[in-house]
Structure 1
Amino acid sequence: KMTDPELVRYFIENIEYEHKGLMLDTGHLLNTNLDINTEEEGIDYLIETVKNLGDMKDYIKGIHLSKSLSGKYVKNQIEKYKKIEIDSNKANNEIIYHILKIDEHKPFTSNKINNLIEMINPKFLVYEFITTSLEELSDFIKIQDKALDL
């Protein structure tokens, strides 16, 4: 997890390769905090978490950029499944749906995301979306481009 600077340091220091780095997945990092309710809170969390990495943030070479604000959903699921037994035959479809609900892969709409991009200054920036059509993908790209002032 990138939420623990010492764990990141341990990880980096134990890679015996000269050209090493990290790929920050913003959606996955957002999913580590179930108390995020808005995009603004999410961006603040991303920025604060990266700041807390100190000099380890310099190892972030790329960003998989996507928004995932699924904390409320996850909390509801935790409560729901505390009380019931899962039927393994029925579970496969529910698990796939559940995973897609947790890691939403949506574009950011707030220009505030530029603060994170500027702070990291990545070599690579990858839009990481899940869509159901080329039209939706095109819409997501336009939304993300607009938020990044591209």
Structure 2
Amino acid sequence: MLQLVNLSNYSTDLVLIRNDAAELQAFLQRNGLDGLEMMFCDSWDPSIHRLEWIHGVHLQFWPSWLDFWRGDYQELLRQFGSRANIIASYGGLKREDWLNRQRANIRQAREAQAKYLVWHVCHNRLEEIFDWRFSASDREVVDGAIEVINEVADEIPADMTLLLENLWWPGMTLRDPGIIARLLEKIRHPRLGIMLDTGHLMNTNQDLRSQAEGIEYVLHTIDSLGEYSRSIHGIHLHYSLSGPYIRQTRGWNRQSCSLEESISHVLKIDQHLPFTDSQVCRILDRVRPEWLVHEFVQKSAGDWEEKVVRQQRALGLRHLKGDETHE
């Protein structure tokens, strides 16, 4: 099992590492990490994010895409307000424009020699993140995702694993083995599997009150997948206990809001907190993943390191020289 952390080459993440490869290298070595799961938001600079550190690439994500894929231009105008905004989001007005953006992102992953890709299987319109009144079913989202992925699958090398990630919006939530079966059977790629996101899974149950309950819920869900649990090759490890916030805000009417407001709302649901309960080891024991990603929202370099350290201690993985608090 390789221990990784998530990172992007977006400006805020460059500030996090002071735009310095030596700073990043020291962070990885100090915390016994094997490397990165990268997200490329711009051109890749291998002098900063070195090739030898990149094991996976999280592909760019469009939360709302099904209406574009279906060619529902009137609905897109309602959501985005103008033709220019639609083009800015998808790269054009035609399917091929958007697909070419995705192909370019996959080519970046190939250049970085990533071993795996991560693809979110999810869709929701902007107002639906507030009111939870969804316009598409899990099956509709999954069938659309299969079409999209198969259009760009030829860009993915045969020896690069494509991992499908669960979310709590319509799509692949991991609550329906039939949905997983459909994805694994219909997507045309020889190396296909699941990236289990523990926090996203916990967001599907607003009754969870503790890490312990969340761990049991994750384990129960894994068991309910039956044979498909063997397709879990990676874990995005973190937790969310956002049930009280969801119950407070669910049903909000937000026909329009700023990008900052929507991001703030989503992050209050998807908390990305480090596990501190040592029972989290049971998840790793059950799955035995190839890739373990300590996935957090990094507020600062110090905050990032503190979260990694706390979760590693819970997992019993903090055996590093100089870690004075390890017993």
What TM-score, normalized by structure 1, do the two folds share?
A: 0.91
- Superposed CA offset, 1:41-61 (max 9, x none): 100000000000001000000
Q: Which residue of 1 aligns with 2:195?
A: 23
Q: Which residue of 2 aligns with 1:116?
A: 283
- Superposed CA offset, 1:117-147 (max 9, x none): 1100000000100121111111101100101
Distance 1:148 1:128 in 2: 14
SS of 1:147's equivalent? helix
Q: How does 1:51-130 map to 2 (within 5 A)?
A: 51-78=223-250, 81=252, 85-86=253-254, 88=256, 91-130=258-297
Q: Which residue of 1 aligns with 2:217?
A: 45
User: Which of the numbers 180, 184, 206 marks the counterpart of 1:34?
Assistant: 206
| Structure 2 spans left out of the alignment, 5+ residues | 1-172, 318-327
Q: Which has the larger radius of gyration?
A: 2
- What count of residue pairs does the alignment treat as equivalent? 145
SS of 2:189's equivalent? coil
More helix by share: 1
User: Which of the numbers 300, 312, 325 marks the counterpart of 1:145?
Assistant: 312
1:10–1:139: structure 2 CA closer, same or farther, 3 Å change rule? same
Q: Which residue of 2 aligns with 1:9?
A: 181
| Structure 1 spans left out of the alignment, 5+ residues | none
Q: Structure 1 residue 78: deviation in Å?
A: 1.2
| Highest RCO, 1 vs 2 (Cα 8 Å, sep ≥ 6) | 1
Identity %: 38
Aligned AA (2:283) = L
**Considering only aligned residues, what root-mean-square deviation do their CA atoms show, in Å?**
1.4
Distance 1:134 1:52 in 2: 38
Distance 1:16 1:94 in 2: 37
What TM-score, normalized by structure 2, do the two folds share?
A: 0.43
Aligned AA (1:73) = Y
Where has structure 1 moved over 6 Å in runs of 4 or more?
none
Asked if 2 retains the 8 angstrom alpha-carbon contact of 1:58 and 1:120, the reply is yes
Q: Structure 1 residue 74: deviation in Å?
A: 0.6
